[in-house]
A and B are shown apart, each in its own frame.
Chain A
Amino acid sequence: MLYLQLFISFFKIGLFGFGGGLAILSLIELEVEQYGWMSQQEFVDIVAVSQVTPGPIGINCATYVGYTVAGFWGSVLATAAIVLPSLIIMLSICRAYFWLNKRFTGNVYFEQTLRMLRFTVIGLIASAALILIKPTTFIDTASWIIFALVAFFTILPQVTKEKKVLPIVNLFSHPILLIVLAGIAGYLIYA
């Protein structure tokens, strides 16, 4: 019964969760409250851990809540349930998109809409970065130096004219390497 409840709750969350991970957290909170699965403090801790561990926040939170409520199989069910609606709906949207793309290439309305959406998306990404500029992220000057260095190395390959050094520049601009280096810097500065 508990398993079924978990599955239905997280399926609902996946189905009605518009706007990505952070927006979805509030939906998870509602379900958790409604069923009295855990105390509010416990849930706040889970959210904190979900935000500081790798991977999509929604998946992290679903796995953690599922495990807390019903053990290993609870975590499997909650995670599968939150992914399933995405999978079904996004697949349909993809098929529609590729079909439209074939059918309406050259159509002024279709092309212009896609073109403007690209500019909107650039705004969306910018807002995601702007939202993160807050005192908890940028605690001191060192934070801004890390920010500037990572930004510098990310932009570097685009402005490098010399073809010979490009492979090296590309290597150093890899996001994974930059994240690892920033982590090491954080350890050296703050620990």
Chain B
Amino acid sequence: MIGDLFFQLFWTYLKIGTFTLGGGYAMLPLIQREVVDRKGWIDEEEFLNMIALAQAAPGLIAVNSAVFIGWRVGGWRGVCGAVLGAVLPSFLIILAIAMVFSDWKELPAVEAVFKGIRPAVVALIAAPLVKLAKSAMKDKGQKAKDVGLRALPLLVSLAAALLIWLGHVNPVWVILATIVLTLIVEKLRIKN
């Protein structure tokens, strides 16, 4: 039973859900570690594709990513396991808080622990970017040998980051714009 994909995905997402603080994006480093590095269920390229889809679809990114990986790895059973695992820790913890201690947030010890965790979460989101950028730059389709040329699309990353961070543009629009612009540019490129 332990080897069953339902339980494997359930257990993996239970761990991810329990130790994620700060929502969808804070979940990504844990997903990357457990699903990509450790289990090897998907590779880094597919991991990035998954994020684009999970972000573009409505609903919670955490749940969307659980659906994608659950489906990719184990079909219907996988989806059920992953989604249940992603939701259950949240649900139980909040239920316990709502039922038992509603004023725990005022405890100075709890606040101190969170003060330590918050900057760690930022580092956990930011640090894997180096590795992800490297794997995105691996160029299968084109034969650009020049590293500088392969790094050129990182300008797209920069533009996306600035639009969302400083321009407060909804990420969904940035994803849609990427699709439309890429199609137009390719069309023009092929015509010439």
Contact = CB atoms under 8 A, between A and B. Distances in A.
Interface residues of B, number: 103
Contacts of B118: 132, 136-137, 143
Contacts of A38: none
A128 B33 contact: no
Contacts of A127: 160-165, 171
B59 A139 contact: no
Majority secondary structure, A binding face: helix
A122 interface: yes
Contacts of A111: 140-141
A100 to B, nearest CB: 11
A155 B164 contact: no
A158 B128 CA distance: 9
Interface in A59-117: 59-60, 63-64, 67-68, 72, 75, 79, 82-83, 85-87, 89-91, 93-95, 97-98, 108-109, 111-117
B190 interface: yes
Contacts of A148: 123
A55 B79 CA distance: 18
Given A82-B60, A123-B157, A126-B126, A91 B67 contact: yes
B179 A86 contact: no
Interface residues of A, number: 100
A137 B89 CA distance: 24
A6 interface: no
Contacts of A185: 116
Among A48, A87, A115, A158, chain B packs the most CB atoms within 10 A around the CB of A115
Contacts of B109: 187, 191
B136 A137 contact: no
Interface in B1-56: 15, 17-25, 27-30, 33, 45, 48-49, 51-56
Contact of A146 (B20, B27, B119, B132): B119
A32 interface: no
Interface string A11-50: 0001111111111100000000000000000000000111
Majority secondary structure, B binding face: helix
Contacts, number: 371
Interface of B: 15, 17-25, 27-30, 33, 45, 48-49, 51-64, 67-68, 71-72, 79, 83, 86-87, 89-91, 93-95, 97-99, 105, 108-109, 111-133, 136, 140-141, 153-154, 156-165, 170-172, 174-175, 178-179, 181-183, 186-187, 190
B172 A18 contact: yes
Contact of A97 (B53, B79, B99, B170): B53
Given A54-B19, A55-B94, A146-B123, 19 more contacts: A24-B60, A52-B114, A55-B90, A60-B94, A75-B95, A85-B59, A113-B179, A116-B181, A117-B52, A117-B179, A121-B48, A123-B162, A126-B165, A127-B164, A154-B123, A175-B124, A176-B30, A182-B119, A187-B113
Among A52, A55, A178, A185, chain B packs the most CB atoms within 10 A around the CB of A55
A131 B162 CA distance: 10
Contacts of B131: 158
A67 B97 CA distance: 11
Interface in A138-153: 138-139, 143-144, 146-151
B129 A124 contact: no
